[in-house]
């Protein structure tokens, strides 16, 4: 690969990181705001019904995908990287038709089984109508997923933050209107209709932009492609995708079986806060299409640099949230949700684990090692199910809040196992090892910060004002100590400064 090409890929990565961070920031801040608004308007019991319904629908949406979205990114990006536009078009239309057939089938099955799921499996009739109405949302998510994946395949993220902003704003405004104007038994269904309408708006904007800037993906002749290779990739990705979504929802589903709806609401409030924070630190959407085009030393350098920045951010956020868990729940959701403090103590570890899992997984997907990814995910899912069942049932007699703690612990154990397997396999397959200096220095700085937070919490009565002061001073102490430990240097600061100049980069035609 020429020096010019290497430089272009670096520019793409930096430029994409700006747009991707903007997109993720809008998405997760919007999702967090939306969750807070819903939690406060619905209150714990109805919020629990909403959380259970959405978890079921999220699993159903995964069955409409089965790894097709990520396959679209992988193969369309690869073909465009070779400047084979007709082949990229052929991959897209093949995968689009395949997804259409699967989506229609899944929606039909959902309509037939919704009553059984609501009444017989969970014993909660309140989720029956929302599951029926949710099929419209399922359709919109399916279409937006595959059409929107073309932005990642083209490595063009410039319009995505705007689309995400419109989507989040539409979702919040329409959902609040549904809650305010509909009766209590129709509010969850109204929220899902709002989701679907927001999806329609996003789909229209996305399609118009792509037709304007990348219509070669849609229009023109197609050529023969290696469908067996694509199907093999989808096969293993489908196992990984289904396992991952169950991975993320099994705790909610099992709690929905054993605890009251309000306690499910407490758990989802804590989990929603953690997921929103951890997702802000996920760079897999940027790294995946780029990792498909690099290898060897360049792959390791890119990985190590990303790992360094992730640990600088995730280590203090994880332990900082543990220290201020009660204040965080009170400030975000209100006193009605203080029971959520207990599961938050353990779920906070996801802020450290989840971004690292995404980083390692992006290498496996890019290099078509999805068989290993599927295997690790499936085993981790089984561990999650077993631990959830054992811990929830054994801790439930002590109180429903302890069942929430058990579900959180099961999630952390299973995801910790998943990350460990990815680390070991990456070392064996790509000879990429963890530079423990990147981990030790943030930990030392976090210890100093945690000592300050502990003393502050003991000496100062916490309210909103003092809580903000505590957070700001804690951040300052952490980065001050990290600077003294040379955990980051002027080169890192120069990189941050250069991000402001990204708009001056020439447009890269991949």
Contacts of 228 (CB under 8 A, 6+ apart): none
Q: Any idea which residue has 């999650």 for tokens?
A: 384
- For residues 65 and 99, the answer to whether their CB atoms sit within 8 Å is yes
Crossing angle of the two packed helices 68-81 and 350-366, in degrees rounded to 10: 50
pLDDT tens, 272-293?
888 878 877 765 545 444 554 4
DSSP secondary-structure letter at 181?
H
**Pairs from 406-411 (Cβ < 8 Å, separation ≥ 24):** 407/251, 407/254, 407/255, 407/267, 407/343, 408/251, 408/267, 408/270, 408/271, 408/343, 408/345, 408/346, 408/347, 409/346, 410/251, 410/384, 411/251, 411/347, 411/350, 411/384
Which is more confident, 304 or 443? 443
Among 256, 267, 37, which residue's Cα sits nearest to residue 126? 256
More confident residue, 151 or 472: 472
Residue that has been written with the tokens 């099955």 in this structure:
109
Closest residue by Cα to residue 149 from 77, 90, 209: 77
On the 0-12 / 13-18 / 19+ scale of CB atoms within 10 A, 370 is buried
Q: What's the confidence (pLDDT) of residue 299?
A: 66
| C-alpha separations of 74 from 87, 88, 150, 370, 473 in Å | 13, 10, 10, 12, 43
pLDDT one-digit tens code per residue, 43-71: 888 888 888 898 889 888 888 887 788 78
Banded model confidence at residue 494, pLDDT cuts 50, 70, 90: low
- Does pLDDT of 109 surpass 90? yes
Task: Evaluate if residue 441 carries a pLDDT over 70.
Answer: yes
Cα(7)–Cα(188) distance, integer angstroms: 50
pLDDT at 496 over 60: no
Percentage above 90 pLDDT, the chain: 18
Confidence of residue 510 (pLDDT cuts 50, 70, 90): very low
Cα 316 to chain centroid distance, Å, stands at 20
Q: What is the pTM of this model?
A: 0.68
């Amino acid at each position: 690969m020429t020096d010019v090409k290497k430089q272009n890929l670096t520019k793409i990565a930096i430029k994409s990181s700006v747009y991707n961070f903007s997109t993720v920031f809008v998405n997760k801040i919007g999702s967090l705001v939306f969750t807070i608004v819903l939690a406060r308007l619905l209150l714990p019991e109805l919020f629990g019904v909403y959380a259970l319904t959405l978890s079921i629908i999220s699993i159903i949406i995964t069955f409409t995908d089965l790894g097709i979205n990520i396959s679209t990114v992988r193969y369309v990006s690869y073909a465009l990287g070779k400047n084979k536009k007709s082949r990229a078009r052929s991959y897209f239309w093949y995968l689009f038709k395949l997804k259409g057939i699967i989506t229609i089938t899944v929606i039909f099955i959902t309509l037939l089984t919704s009553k059984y799921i609501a009444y017989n499996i969970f014993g909660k009739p309140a989720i029956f109508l929302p599951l029926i109405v949710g099929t419209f949302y399922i359709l919109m998510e399916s279409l937006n997923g595959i059409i929107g994946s073309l932005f990642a395949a083209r490595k063009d993220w410039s319009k995505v933050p705007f689309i995400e902003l419109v989507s989040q704003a539409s979702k919040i405004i329409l959902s609040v209107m549904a809650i305010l104007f509909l009766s209590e038994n129709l509010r969850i269904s109204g929220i899902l209709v709002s989701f679907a309408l927001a999806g329609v708006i996003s789909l229209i904007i996305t399609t118009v932009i792509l037709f304007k800037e990348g219509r070669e993906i849609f229009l023109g002749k197609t050529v023969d492609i290696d469908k067996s290779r694509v199907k093999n990739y989808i096969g293993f990705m489908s196992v990984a995708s289904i396992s991952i979504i169950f991975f993320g929802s099994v705790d909610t589903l099992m709690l929905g079986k054993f605890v009251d709806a309000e306690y499910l609401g407490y758990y989802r409030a804590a989990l929603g806060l953690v997921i929103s924070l951890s997702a802000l630190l996920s760079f897999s959407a940027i790294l995946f299409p780029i990792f498909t085009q690099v290898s060897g030393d360049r792959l390791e350098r890119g990985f190590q640099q990303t790992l360094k920045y992730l640990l600088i951010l995730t280590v203090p956020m994880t332990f900082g949230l543990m220290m201020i868990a009660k204040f965080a729940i009170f400030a975000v959701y209100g006193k009605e949700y203080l029971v959520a403090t207990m599961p938050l103590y353990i779920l906070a570890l996801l802020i450290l684990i989840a971004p690292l899992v995404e980083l390692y997984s992006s290498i496996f997907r890019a290099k078509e090692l999805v068989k290993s990814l599927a295997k690790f995910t499936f085993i981790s899912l089984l561990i999650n199910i077993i631990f959830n069942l054992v811990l929830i049932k054994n801790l439930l007699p002590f109180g429903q809040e302890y069942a929430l703690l058990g579900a959180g612990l099961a999630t952390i154990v299973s995801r910790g196992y998943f990350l460990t397997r990815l680390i070991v396999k990456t070392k064996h397959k790509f000879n990429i090892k963890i530079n423990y200096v990147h981990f030790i220095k943030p930990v030392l700085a976090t210890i100093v910060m945690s000592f300050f937070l502990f003393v502050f919490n003991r000496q100062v009565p916490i309210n909103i004002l003092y809580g903000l002061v505590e957070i700001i001073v804690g951040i300052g102490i952490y980065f001050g100590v990290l600077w003294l430990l040379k955990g980051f240097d002027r080169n890192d600061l120069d990189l941050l400064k250069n991000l402001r100049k990204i708009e001056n980069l020439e447009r890269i035609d991949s």
